[in-house]
């Protein structure tokens, strides 16, 4: 799924490209992903002008000068495209907005798992999950001490806790594998067994990984917002390959159908 490095670049690209553009045509092709009626979706978007795009956790929030916000949770495989109208549409294109720059803003979702909302800016708290999230992982208010204080309330395996958006929002499966590798923590370690030093190490690893990954993704993705660079990751989906630190084979397991990649030598458990 798109995670912070992907979404941060998409947000930056759309703030360069979309701000000030007017929506001249609305085509809702797959209503299943949109959580408002077709007539409302089309009527409220038609003629609206884009403001700035924000990211909260894994949600992208497209502000409109009407006071509405187009909120998109891309889930596992949702993708955004800002392309010439002549470019062939993907069969799973959910909606296409013709803009005043002559291009189309498209949302594509191969599994129709994404969720799209259109709400008044004052009603963002009504969007499911958005109002229930913990602090965004890049929120300056989430200091190391604040992270530790929140972590004290949680039990269970460390990876499950850290990808829980109610704890902190924005990091998913792929980048959490990288965080735990940098921190040297086994993904199935119980949070309750971690020392304070190890807990602080998790916080620092989160920021180390994101500081490392965001510019790489921006370079590899460029303005092509439907790409999802992952090849540069060190352990995620690298099962059987040598660990970049110790050379031992990277382990890969899939509890509850979620791939977890780690080095048993560098992350003993």
Could you tell me the pTM of the whole model? 0.94
Q: Which fold is adopted by the domain 144-262?
A: Helicase, Ruva Protein; domain 3 (1.10.8)
Model confidence at 107, pLDDT cuts 50, 70, 90, reads: very high
Q: In 3-state terms, the chain is what percent helix, strand and coil (to 5)?
A: 35, 25, 45
Query: Residues spanned by CATH 3.20.190.10 within the chain?
Result: 4-123
Residue 162's Cβ-side half-sphere holds a number of Cα atoms within 13 Å equal to 28
Is 3 designated active site? yes
Rounded CA separation 217/165 (Å): 22
Is 58 designated active site? yes
Is 153 designated active site? no
Rounded CA separation 8/215 (Å): 10
Catalytic residue among 17, 44, 55, 58: 58
Is 196 designated active site? no
The per-residue pLDDT for range 214-267, each reduced to its tens digit, is 999 999 999 999 888 999 999 999 999 999 999 999 999 998 778 999 999 999
Query: Residues spanned by CATH 1.10.8.50 within the chain?
Result: 144-262
**CATH architecture for residues 4-123:** Alpha-Beta Barrel (3.20)
Q: At what angle do helices 196-221 and 4-17 cross, to 10 degrees?
A: 40
The per-residue pLDDT for range 46-61, each reduced to its tens digit, is 999 999 999 999 999 9
Res 76: pLDDT: 86
C-beta separation of 208 from 180 below 8 A: no
Catalytic residue among 111, 153, 190, 258: 258
């Amino acid at each position: 799924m798109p995670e912070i490095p992907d979404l941060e670049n998409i947000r930056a690209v759309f703030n360069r490209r979309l701000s000030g553009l007017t929506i001249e045509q609305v085509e809702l092709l797959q209503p299943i992903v949109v959580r408002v009626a077709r007539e409302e979706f089309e009527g409220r978007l038609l003629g609206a002008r884009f403001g700035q795009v924000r990211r909260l956790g894994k949600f992208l929030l497209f502000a409109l000068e009407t006071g509405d916000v187009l909120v998109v949770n891309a889930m596992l495989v949702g993708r955004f495209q800002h392309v010439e109208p002549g470019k062939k549409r993907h069969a799973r294109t959910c909606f296409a907005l013709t803009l005043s720059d002559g291009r189309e803003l498209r949302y594509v979702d191969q599994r129709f798992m994404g969720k799209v909302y259109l709400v008044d800016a004052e009603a963002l708290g009504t969007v499911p999950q958005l109002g229930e999230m913990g602090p965004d992982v890049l929120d300056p208010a989430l200091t190391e001490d604040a992270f530790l204080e929140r972590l004290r309330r949680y039990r269970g395996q460390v990876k499950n806790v850290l990808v829980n958006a109610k704890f902190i929002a924005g990091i998913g499966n792929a980048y959490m594998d990288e965080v735990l590798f940098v921190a040297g923590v086994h993904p199935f370690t119980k949070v309750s067994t971690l020392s304070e030093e190890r807990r602080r190490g998790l916080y620092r690893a989160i920021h180390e990984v994101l500081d490392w990954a965001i510019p790489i993704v921006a370079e590899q993705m460029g303005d092509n917002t439907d790409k999802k660079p992952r090849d540069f990751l060190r352990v995620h989906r690298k099962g059987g390959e040598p660990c970049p630190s110790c050379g031992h084979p990277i382990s890969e397991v899939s509890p509850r159908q979620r791939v977890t990649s780690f080095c048993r030598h560098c992350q003993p458990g």
